[in-house]
Amino acid sequence: MPAATALEKALQLLALRARTGQELERALARSGFTEPERESALARVRELGYINDRETARARARSRLGQGEAPRLLAKKLVAQGVREGDARAAAVEAGEGASAEELASRALERRLKGRQPADEREQRRLFRALVGKGHSPSAAAKALGIAWEGNDDVEDW
């Protein structure tokens, strides 16, 4: 049964998973609801406490950090999903539980290798690229892999 109102559609979407206000607004727009309909629905779900960008950010940060992403990358992704920058950074730092960049890269590597060692140098290079792709600095990725790194991290700080 299709949703008759923007509020019903919003509730259906939120029943599937937590969303930021921006994500919900975009989904309602894609569903063809007018701006006043979307604004009204968003105001109501906020009033009911069904949208909390800060809590959504915290949950996603914990999940993504557990999947091996570095705090810097996951904060940027959260901002892109409509979370305020300060809330995104706070969620990323909280998810890291005070661990250093090297510790987080090591955890991501351990999760990926599941207790085994890289098979060869080729796999080490692939793992290095994967860690950097998850937002870890090249120096932290190299340290986690136990390889020398003489380059510059050359990544913009957050």
Q: Report pLDDT digits (tens) over 48-93.
A: 999 999 999 999 999 999 899 999 999 999 999 999 999 999 999 9
CA atoms within 13 A of residue 73's CA, in its CB half-sphere: 17
Q: Would you say residue 15 lies in a domain?
A: yes
Answer yes or no: do 114 and 91 share one domain: no
User: Residue 68 in contact with residue 134, Cβ under 8 Å?
Assistant: yes
Answer yes or no: do 59 and 92 share one domain: yes
User: Which tokens sit at 40?
Assistant: 């009204």
Report angle CA 20, 72, 13 to the nearest 5 degrees.
15
Q: Would you say residue 117 lies in a domain?
A: yes
User: Which tokens sit at 47?
Assistant: 């009033």
Answer yes or no: do 86 and 108 share one domain: no
DSSP character for 3? Answer: -
Domain count, the chain: 3
Q: Would you say residue 58 lies in a domain?
A: yes
Answer yes or no: do 107 and 120 share one domain: yes
pTM, 2 dp: 0.79
Q: Would you say residue 154 lies in a domain?
A: no
Residues 101-137 have pLDDT tens digits of 999 999 999 999 998 988 898 999 999 999 999 999 9
Q: Would you say residue 73 lies in a domain?
A: yes
Q: Which domain holds residue 20?
A: 6-47
Q: Would you say residue 150 lies in a domain?
A: no
Answer yes or no: do 88 and 108 share one domain: no
| Model confidence at 31: pLDDT above 90 | yes
